[in-house]
Amino acid sequence: MSDDKITIYIKPTCSTVRKALKILRENGSEFDQVNYYETPFTKRKLSGLIKKLGVPPRELLRKNEKVYKEFGLSKKELSDSEIIDLMVKHPDLIQRPIVVKGKKVILARPAEEIEKLL
């Protein structure tokens, strides 16, 4: 994989993802998109991306998701490993889109954050 190639991990129905994809297309950037609902994250892959993001896994949780509330995640003390396990099992919990270019990984929220990689 070339350092110039961008990989964006997406949920196609997400408006922020659609905005990020539009920015990439308008910029003429080459990119691969991975729908992590069709090609689920492994724990190892997600852990590696989170490590490169430089944030604790809890910061990547989508707090308004039904599953977040059902599990009472705001009140639970979970290890990073347990949080990642939950995100792998319930991908709706993952903030998106996660964008990789070379060794850089960002969370493109808002979508304009993707411009930092271009």
Write out the catalytic residue numbers.
14
Distances 50 to 25, 28, 29 between C-alpha atoms, Å: 25, 27, 24
Q: Which residues 6+ apart lie within 8 Å of 96 measured at CB?
A: 9, 10, 11, 14, 16, 17, 107, 109
Question: Distance (Å, rounded) from C-alpha 60 to C-alpha 92?
Answer: 11
